[in-house]
Amino acid sequence: MRKIASILALVLPCLQAASAIDQTVRFGAPAAHFTESCPLGNGRIGAMVFGGVNEERIVLNESGMWSGSPQDADRPGAAAALPEIRRLLLEGRNADAERLVNDHFTCTGRGSGFGNGARVPYGCYQVLGNLRLKFIHAGNDTTVRQYRRELDLSGAVARVSYMRSGVRYMREAFVSAPDQAFVFKIEAKKRGALSVDINLDRPEHFQTEAVRSDGLIMTGQLDNGINGKGVRFAARLKVSVKGGSMKAEGGTILVRNADQAVLYVTAATDIRSFAGRNIADPAKTASDEADAAAGKSYSLVRKNHISDYQGYFNRVNLKLGEGPSDLSFKPTPARLIELAGGNADNALMALFFDFGRYLLISSSRPGGFPPNLQGIWAEEVQTPWNADWHLNINAQMNYWPAESCNLLDLHQPMFAFIESLVESGSGTAVKYYNAGGWVAHVFSNPWGFTSPGESASWGATMTCSAWLCQHLWDHYLYTGDREFLAGAYPVIKGSARFYADMLIEEKKHGWLVTAPSNSPENTFILPDGSRAHICLGPTMDMQLLRYLFGACVEASDILGLDADFRSELSEKRARLAPTRIGEDGRVMEWLEPYAENDPYHRHVSHLWGLYPGSEITPFTMPELAAAARKTLDARGDGGTGWCLAHKLTLWARLGDGNRALQLLRNQLKPAGERSVINTSGGGTYANLFDAHPPFQIDGNFGATAGVAEMLMQSAENEIRLLPALPDAWPGGEVRGLRARGGFEVDVKWAKGKMTKAVIRSIHGRGVRIFLGLKSVDLALSPGRAARLDGDLNLK
């Protein structure tokens, strides 16, 4: 290892701009299903473009479209059952303990409606509505020629074009963040050839009225689960035409013989957001915003949208192989099918990586809600699992690429959400565990739900709040932002307080363990053959608490606060049950060597410490890393979309690029139209949405994070370049990834070997760079950069 004391080079530019890469999702036909349509979004307003020739349907979304209302779902008297539940667990009577948990330690009332919460206080995220356009085409020839539909990720614009009766028709759509509007331009390339009827509707609870001759307003109120008086919403359409005429008839806008029409759709709800937007009169807000957007020229609104979006998207650039291949111009669904058939299409993998970044920019903007199970895109009223925030991996996975893919500022909605749980979570902590601090269990909503779920088998995981706190500490590791840390510290401390209070000592080793708990959704077999879930100190809990206590100790030290609590946590941290290897050579999922009921279970929770945690690495803990490999081999390479993405990140952390690529390939398998819940059929839909199935967005984000982990990994003082490069990616380059410690990293490689790298310091200083077994120490001042060659020599 060579030591370099200081580097005087001025900040170097990124590696040369990658030669043109194709970043377009293409289709040769209109969408027949939601999962074939093109998603657009500005973090709050979402739109799915189907691109039908005679009838266009745009599914509209607004992130505040939540039914339900605040509820107290904490079960009275739960804490009274706690001593007995714990006694039974300490005696190894898990099945008896589980019965008590089911009877006394779950949520009360209607809970989450067992995942069907649309009409109970838990509520569900749901569709805003449909913008429907019925075209009256001129001419008698009904044949449609040259149909194309595409989603251009480089500018976040969707387009449709076709010829009919000798006339070219073109549509262009985007959702602007600067103008808070969905904007849709429709043109006929022949004068007067555009005639269309325009409507706004939704499945229930709405009315649509015309506003003058050029607009519509749809208003309504969602069910709050009590008396029907839930969130009020409005969607406002304003149309401007060139040529021809326009009038309103009933609830429809009729455009006749025009050359062009531009539609602006705005939307608002009066839901109380975690930060920022609190709207008193949704109809007024939506109308004001529609007037403001429509008052500007289309080209200006479009230009501002593209520059806002590219401010995020262009921070990172990935090229796998040479420029656009012939394949790039094929419809994406066909490329998915050919990839599954064994075709090499690295550009499709790069496109999938970009798609995850695109989705985060489109569904997570400061001041808004974090993306839910479906991001912001839903077509139903009762969405699967309420399209809520599931906290035993899913909501967290949505933010896995936020820091490494240089979208750090888009992590904010997650932080605001976490903070929103503290108040109700403090009540839940006392009422169930007689503990201080705050806790959240398996799922939550905008109404502050923190109680356990309805069933012990999945609802009793109580380290979900510790997992959430990882996002706060990790953001600090990336940014070094002390002010942020000072703001986040009370939340981290409150979480650590809860666990420090609720841990108990198990008998065999005197380790501190959580109780009652479960290892997310997995079932084990007890010695008498019975099945159970409830246990003491599952491995995931212990790994999470080592992370949380460690983070809290460091944070309190940095901020110079709470010395006594720091010692308490350090002491308790050292007594947490360790991650152990079982007789079968695998990482133990539970404290006891139980057999799992389903050896292929999708949750690989006991490898949390490998990813997204950091306690297991092949460099510091080779035995555990080897046990993690065995664990993954035994679990197999199948599962839901998010499960495949998790396994991809795990193999990347183990440094096995070929296996990581295998998981990515598995995830890219075409999922067809399947939308029925299935726990082993993961894949990718025609529009590149991740398939649980059904559509669930976490896998998209997890895969993007996984690809980033294949190319670069970082810990507090180290950066690993190309740690898991598969043989099938012999050449390429990535620019702009972010590393913990405050660095930006570009890497270029050819014939499977790194050829150069640039490390730019944002605020970082000392860092050790690894390339395989070689390493070099850099000392950089903020604003400076180092350029390295393929042998880690400074250039």
Binding positions for ligand FUC, rule: CB under 6 A: 373, 385, 390, 392, 394, 521, 602, 640, 642, 679, 692, 696
Cα-to-chain-centroid distance, residue 176 = 20
Q: Smallest distance, Å, CB 225 to ligand FUC?
A: 20
Q: Smallest distance, Å, CB 606 to ligand FUC?
A: 15
Ramachandran quadrant class, 547 (left: phi over 0; alpha: psi -120 to 50; beta: rest): alpha
Pairing of strands 774-779, 2-3: parallel
Separation of alpha carbons 695 and 514, rounded Å:
33
What burial class does residue 724 get, using C-beta atoms within 10 Å of its C-beta: 0-12 exposed, 13-18 middle, 19+ buried?
buried
Q: Smallest distance, Å, CB 531 to ligand FUC?
A: 17
* Helix intervals (H) in 398-454: 400-404, 412-420, 422-433
Q: Smallest distance, Å, CB 445 to ligand FUC?
A: 13
Q: Smallest distance, Å, CB 157 to ligand FUC?
A: 31
Q: Smaller CB distance to ligand FUC: residue 107 or 758?
A: 107
The DSSP 8-state label assigned to residue 603 in this structure reads -
Distances (CA, A) of 281 to 47, 66, 235, 278: 22, 16, 12, 9
- For helices 422-433 and 412-420, give the axis angle rounded to 10 degrees: 40
Q: Smallest distance, Å, CB 518 to ligand FUC?
A: 12
Q: Smaller CB distance to ligand FUC: residue 289 or 690?
A: 690
Q: Smaller CB distance to ligand FUC: residue 310 or 678?
A: 678
Q: Smallest distance, Å, CB 615 to ligand FUC?
A: 23
Q: Smallest distance, Å, CB 390 to ligand FUC?
A: 4
Q: Smaller CB distance to ligand FUC: residue 51 or 453?
A: 453
Find, among 145, 197, 198, the residue nearest to 28 by Cα.
145
Residues 6+ apart with CB under 8 A from 402: 360, 364, 408, 410, 411, 414
Q: Smallest distance, Å, CB 699 to ligand FUC?
A: 9
Bridge partners, residue 263, by sequence: 184, 239
Q: Smallest distance, Å, CB 372 to ligand FUC?
A: 10
Separation of alpha carbons 371 and 402, rounded Å:
12
Q: Smaller CB distance to ligand FUC: residue 199 or 386?
A: 386
- Give me the half-sphere count of Cα atoms (radius 13 Å) on the Cβ side of residue 512: 19
Q: Smaller CB distance to ligand FUC: residue 678 or 755?
A: 678
Mapped onto helix, strand or coil, the DSSP state of residue 714 is: strand
What burial class does residue 755 get, using C-beta atoms within 10 Å of its C-beta: 0-12 exposed, 13-18 middle, 19+ buried?
middle
Separation of alpha carbons 122 and 63, rounded Å:
16
Q: Smaller CB distance to ligand FUC: residue 117 or 655?
A: 117
Q: Is the peptide bond before 593 cis (omega within 30 degrees of 0)?
A: no
Q: Smaller CB distance to ligand FUC: residue 394 or 424?
A: 394
Separation of alpha carbons 106 and 85, rounded Å:
13
Find, among 464, 446, 465, 442, the residue nearest to 454 by Cα.
442
Q: Smallest distance, Å, CB 343 to ligand FUC?
A: 29
Q: Smallest distance, Å, CB 379 to ligand FUC?
A: 17
Q: Smallest distance, Å, CB 692 to ligand FUC?
A: 6
Q: Smaller CB distance to ligand FUC: residue 426 or 450?
A: 450
Q: Smallest distance, Å, CB 427 to ligand FUC?
A: 23
What is the helix, strand, coil percentage profile of the chain, to 5?
A: 30, 25, 40
Find, among 454, 562, 437, the residue nearest to 500 by Cα.
437
Q: Smaller CB distance to ligand FUC: residue 112 or 424?
A: 112
3-class DSSP string for 381-395: CCCHHHHCEECCCHH
Cα-to-chain-centroid distance, residue 20 = 28
Q: Could you give the angle at the alpha carbon of 491 between the alpha carbons of 485 and 495, nearest 5°? A: 125
Q: Smaller CB distance to ligand FUC: residue 23 or 605?
A: 605
State the residue for tokens 């669904």.
Answer: 333
Separation of alpha carbons 636 and 601, rounded Å:
9
Q: Smaller CB distance to ligand FUC: residue 175 or 663?
A: 663
Q: Are 214 and 99 in contact (CB under 8 A)?
A: no
Separation of alpha carbons 274 and 420, rounded Å:
6
* Helix intervals (H) in 329-391: 332-340, 346-363
